[in-house]
Every structure is written in structure tokens, then in C-alpha cells.
Amino acid sequence: MSVIYLLISISIIVAIGFFIAFIRAVKTGQYDDDYTPSVRMLFDDELIQPKVEKSNIESQETL
């Protein structure tokens, strides 16, 4: 049953790994602004739209 020692140790080490990741994220300023990224992630899809529209229009104009 000494496997418990091993398992608990591993789980603690994994937890510490995540904890270090968190500290680094804070240090690089990822927690300074918690609003803008939530808006930014929605933008990429919108970028394509105008091009499609424009090509439609151009084709209409050439008619």
C-alpha cells in the first residue's frame, strides 16, 4: 500500500506545477486585464465578412 505515498506525492507535484504556471501567468501580466481578452476572442470570425460582402458587390457592379 505504499503506493499511496507515491500517488499523493505525484498529485501534489502536479498541483505545484499548475501553481507555478499560475504564478508565471500573473507575473507576465495576464491577470492585469480580465475584460479585453473576452471581447477580443470574438473578433476573428467577423474579419472575414467584409471581404465576402465586397466580392459580392464587385460582381454586381461588373454585371
Partner 1 sequence: MTFVPGKMSKVMDTQNCFHCGLDIIKEDEIIFDAKNFCCNGCKTVYEIFSINDLTCYYDFEKSPGATPQDINGKYDFLDNESIVSKLLEFQENSTAIISLSIPHIHCSSCIWILENLQRLQKGISTSQVNFPEKRVRITFNPEVVSIKTIVYLLSSIGYEPYISLENYETGSNDVDRSLTYKLGVAFFCFGNIMLLSFPEYFEVKEFWLDQYRGFFRWLIFALAIPSFFYSASGYYVSAYKSIKTKMLNIDIPIALGIVVMFVRSTFDIVMDYGSGFFDSLTGLIFFMLLGKMFQIKTYSFLSFERDFKSYFPIAITKINSDLSEESVAIYEVEKGDRLLIRNQELIPVDGILISEKAEIDYSFVTGEAIPITKQSGDKVFAGGKQIGKVIEMEVLHSVSQSYLTQLWSNDVFQKNVEQKHKTITDSISRYFTPILLLIAFAGFGYWIFIDANTAFNVFTAVLIVACPCALALTAPFTFGNVLRILGKQKFYLKNALVIEQLAKVDTIVFDKTGTITTNKKSNISYEGTVLSDENLLLVKNVLRASNHPLSRMLYDYLPIPILQSKSGNEAKKLKVDHFEEITGKGIQAQIFGHQVQIGSADFVEKIEEKNVQQTSVHIKINTVYYGKFIFNNQYREGLEELFENLKSNYQIKVLSGDNEGERTILEQLLPKGTELIFNQKPEQKLEFIKNLQEQGKNVMMVGDGLNDAGALAQSNVGISISENVNVFSPACDAILDASEFQKLNYFLKLSKNAITTIKMSFGLSLLYNVVGLSFAITGNLLPLVAAIIMPLSTITIVSFVTVMSSYYARNK
Helix (H, G, I), strand (E, B) or coil at 32: coil
| Binding of partner 1 by 47 (CB under 8 A) | yes
- Residues in 24-43 that interact with partner 1 by CB under 8 A: 26-27, 29, 31-36, 39-40, 42-43
Q: What number of CA atoms fall less than 13 Å from residue 56's CA on the CB side?
A: 5
Least distance (Å) from partner 1 to the CB of residue 43? 6
Residue 33 to residue 11: CA distance in whole angstroms: 31
Residue 60 to residue 50: CA distance in whole angstroms: 15
Residues engaged in binding partner 1 (CB under 8 A):
1, 4-5, 8, 12, 15, 19, 22-23, 26-27, 29, 31-36, 39-40, 42-43, 46-47, 49-51, 53-54, 57
